[in-house]
Amino acid sequence: MEGLFNADLAHWLIQASYFLAAILFISGLKKMSHPRTARGGVVWAGVGMVIATLVTFIEPHMHNYLLMTTAIFVGGIMAWWTGKRVAMTDMPQMIALYNGMGGGSAAAIAAVELLRVHTGAGLTHEAFAARELAVIGALIGTIAFSGSLIAFAKLQGWQRKVYRFPAQNFVNLALFLGLLVLGFMLARTEFSSNTLYAFFALALIIGIMMTIPIGGADMPVVISLYNALTGLAVGIEGFVLQNPAMMIAGIVVGSAGTLLTQLMAKAMNRPLSNVLFSGFGTGDDGSSTMSVSGSMKSIDAADAAITMAYGEKVIFVPGYGMAVAQAQHKIWELAKLLQQQGVKVFFAIHPVAGRMPGHMNVLLAEAGVPYDLIYDLEDINSQFPTCDVALVIGANDVVNPAARKDTSSPIYGMPILDADKARNVIVIKRGQGTGFSGIENLLFFEDNTRMCYGDAQDVAQKLITGVKAL
């Protein structure tokens, strides 16, 4: 009776802990939806993960506690060290890498489960169901793993070239059909270890082949997509292991990532299929044939400072150039000086600015910019026509009027920030290149636009000095 009581008590404690972890996961995700409560949401979700991890140790069928503890300790130390060391500008590639690790973990779980069921007590109905789910989770998780690693390499600058070749989409389709055949063999037949190895090798190749032709401008959508796939894979493997914490965490991440991917694609006015298969910004995607008239006209920082200081309204438009230069603190210092001069300042954020969803919001929050000064595209666009100066800091596609004017442009129809409608536009940019996506920005050639060349942090400091000198 005592042993039965202990088993019942352990079962009750495990289920209660998983339920509490689920509440913390969902509540944490809800709190992450607003900048003011996002930090608390991360803490809540983290506490839920700690509870779900610790309660795993009292699962009756668990063993290899030394290996589990070692893995948790090593992984925790590495995560803590990278979290402290990685700069905010490198956060997108760290997110891509962590997404990949999640997908890889789900795929590894599936591999172990497939081998266990294969060598177990026979192909019962339950064994078939477990194998089918494991195969689906393995397929999704492995593709997310290798695809995320390529996304990481692109964001890190290790792979700058975009690889495309004739009939690439048909080759990918043929590889995927072959993967489905191998998956069917794993799920419904007695299979050899070579079949298992071939399945995972082909899934890894497909993840790579899907990602290498995608241009840098689409990385926010790609990261969000692989995040959704990782969550889905984890949720499916949760069903395989009958682990409620994995089910709930995976479903929450998968559904949130799917919704975010749809929102990101909508923000670019492009279907997801176009993002994955069109080769946007690679030079063979129907790039713009519209000729660019006019020339880029430069302005020095002192004159730009005068223009802003004597205006009534200035809208800051941050982009990845601000992130690279780590200029967010200087930009906020400049904004505060303008406020002291009686200038109304706003910050305009495009949904796909930067290299991951919310990248600019995170950087501005790090600098201490009040949330009530940060506006999304829908809320700020009506302010540009009455704006004296739109200061664009390293942004490119999100302010490119080609999205409205050039029907042959790959970004035609994409909602943009209407910076070109401001009375004056000042663009802080390193040089005269086309930017990460490879698309010429018509804004730079407009009559009301002036280019202030240089590193964003250096230029921001000169603007600060210029405003102080008035």
Mean confidence (pLDDT) of the chain: 82
pLDDT band at 413 (very low <50, low <70, confident <90, very high): confident
pLDDT band at 3 (very low <50, low <70, confident <90, very high): very low
User: What pTM was estimated for this model as a whole?
Assistant: 0.76
Mean pLDDT of 216-222: 73
pLDDT for residue 286 = 44
Question: What crossing angle do the helices spanning 125-156 and 193-211 adopt, rounded to 10°?
Answer: 40
Burial state string for 277-312 with b = 16 or more CB within 10 A and e = fewer than 16:
bbbbbbeebebbeeeeeeebeebebeebbebbbebe
Percent of the chain with pLDDT over 70: 86
Q: Is the pLDDT of residue 415 over 90?
A: no
pLDDT for residue 5 = 44
Tokens (6 digits) for 33: 């939806």
Please check whether residue 412 is in contact with residue 403, taking contact to mean a CB–CB distance below 8 angstroms. Answer: yes
pLDDT tens across 340-349, in order? 989 999 999 9
Percent of the chain with pLDDT over 90: 21
Lowest mean pLDDT, pick from 195-199, 227-231, 279-283, 399-403? 279-283
Lowest mean pLDDT, pick from 184-198, 294-308, 424-438? 424-438
Lowest mean pLDDT, pick from 253-257, 352-356, 431-435? 431-435
Q: Is the pLDDT of residue 453 over 60?
A: yes
- H-helix or E-strand spanning residue 384: none
Please check whether residue 52 is in contact with residue 249, taking contact to mean a CB–CB distance below 8 angstroms. Answer: yes
Tokens (6 digits) for 269: 């006015």
Q: Is the pLDDT of residue 129 over 50?
A: yes
pLDDT for residue 274 = 64
pLDDT tens across 321-338, in order? 888 888 899 999 999 999
pLDDT for residue 2 = 43
Tokens (6 digits) for 352: 């796909």
Mean pLDDT of 224-232: 89
Tokens (6 digits) for 374: 């940060």
pLDDT tens across 357-372, in order? 778 888 888 888 888 8
Q: Is the pLDDT of residue 254 over 60?
A: yes
Question: Active-site residues: which are they?
Answer: 397
DSSP string of 284-344?
A: SS----PPPPS---B--HHHHHHHHHT-SEEEEEE-HHHHHHT-HHHHHHHHHHHHHTT-E
pLDDT band at 432 (very low <50, low <70, confident <90, very high): low
Mean pLDDT of 129-154: 88
pLDDT tens across 158-192, in order? 776 666 767 777 888 888 899 999 988 888 777 77
pLDDT for residue 244 = 81
Q: Is the pLDDT of residue 54 over 80?
A: yes
pLDDT band at 120 (very low <50, low <70, confident <90, very high): very low
